[in-house]
Amino acid sequence: MVLVVAGFDPSAGAGILQDIKTLSLLGVQTCAVVAVETVQNAEKVFQIKPRPVEDICLELDVLPTPRVVKVGLCQPTFVELLRRKYPNAKIVWNVILKSSSGFEFFKPQEVLPYLGFADYLLMNSEEYDRLVECNKSFLKNMMEKIIITGGHRKEEKIIIEYNGEKFVEEKVEGKFHGTGCCFSSAFAGFLDLGYEPKEAIIAAAALVRKILERSKNLKYVASELLAREWQKYDILEQLDELLEEFLMLGPLTVPEVGQNVSFALDWSKTEEEVAKFPGRIRMCLGKAVVVSKACFKDKSHTARMVLTAKKFFPHIKCATNIKFKKEYVENAIKQGYLVFKYDRSLESEELMKKDEGSMEFMIKLAVEKLGRMPDVIWDDGWYGKEAMIRVFGRNPKEILEKVKKIVSG
């Protein structure tokens, strides 16, 4: 377990909230105690207010004993208290002297006497230089503890120094609020997972780079953008788990143009962010087949349908197309599904010529007419267009159940 003792940043870009967000990416159990309250946003620190030591200690007393303690913004004297309270824990101290906006938290001489109580001291190159200037000989004896991050330097790559070695990571350009908290928390998390210090540095640097790549258009370290990546694997897994059942239904459902099942992420904006079966489900010698498991590559009419549907109703994230049969439409109505007939003759000439656009137009029209999202939209074809039934739902399991009822009556 990792215990975080740090400052509270209301913007969540840095401080204890960033620590927790980062550690959650690693699946590490985390407890946290706020040591300093701050008034700040992603651009500036306005004021800080250390909490009474007595209050902090009361909270620590009811928590389990940690393997690793990650210290952020707190009174330097408190690090000594943490060492006495947790003699067997690894203490990782992200030494913060000054905010990136220039707010001074502590002077070097206030911090120096307490550095020896931590097992690992993480600081950027500017903070290291200030501490060396204050007491060079003292820091020389602590190099096996000090990890210097070089993000503030003007090199093309990030260079991290530890115990005489240099570790290089690709640099993501931009000014980000919270990189120190993110890196030090990741380092602490990997230590908790059993990594050696050098390996923890390498892994933490790679993780921070991934987070920053997703934070390019923001002013802060958006760890949550990486956290949502799990949904991609979950969505692919849900599709693949039900693939065999969709294939078994294939002789009853696969139209001449092929069938697909598309499943969107909550934040999907493009077809490449919608999971589907590349190449569609096809019939071969009387048997339904696919060329690949589900993935986010390729384009699909059903993907465009889902993207349009979720603009109106965000919970509608899945859709499939099946062959048209009059009895299927009748079955859908009998089952109590909301059914909408789409008239392709309403499409403009320009829309008919395009390969894209008609699905979006169809869904918008259905929602306008019905006031809500239908379960089924069907049409009886047009010149060069196969008649089709389209089924919408929350997820592949719901879609599969609807399709089963539609084809079986």
Reported pTM: 0.81
Decide: 288 and 298 in contact? Cβ < 8 Å.
Answer: no
The pLDDT of residue 227 is 85
The pLDDT of residue 355 is 62
Q: Which residues contact 84 (CB under 8 A, 6 or more apart)?
A: none
Delimiting residues of CATH 3.40.225.10 domain(s) in the chain: 230-408
- Comparing CA positions, the residue from 88, 91, 72, 70 lying closest to residue 80 is 91
Fold that domain 2-227 belongs to in CATH? UDP-N-acetylmuramoyl-L-alanine:D-glutamate ligase (3.40.1190)
The pLDDT of residue 284 is 96
The pLDDT of residue 367 is 96
The pLDDT of residue 136 is 79
Decide: 70 and 188 in contact? Cβ < 8 Å.
Answer: yes
Kindly state the tokens that stand for 107. Answer: 């002077």
In the chain, the N- to C-terminal Cα span, in Å, equals 54
The pLDDT of residue 152 is 56
The pLDDT of residue 102 is 84
The pLDDT of residue 176 is 85
The pLDDT of residue 346 is 84
What is the C-alpha to C-alpha distance for residues 33 and 129, in angstroms, rounded to an integer?
A: 30
Q: Which residue ranges in the chain fall short of pLDDT 70?
A: 151-154, 353-356
Query: Yes or no: is domain 230-408 CATH 3.30.465.10?
Result: no
- Which residue is associated with the tokens 């590349």? 278
The pLDDT of residue 323 is 98
Delimiting residues of CATH 3.40.1190.20 domain(s) in the chain: 2-227
Pairing of strands 2-8, 30-40: parallel
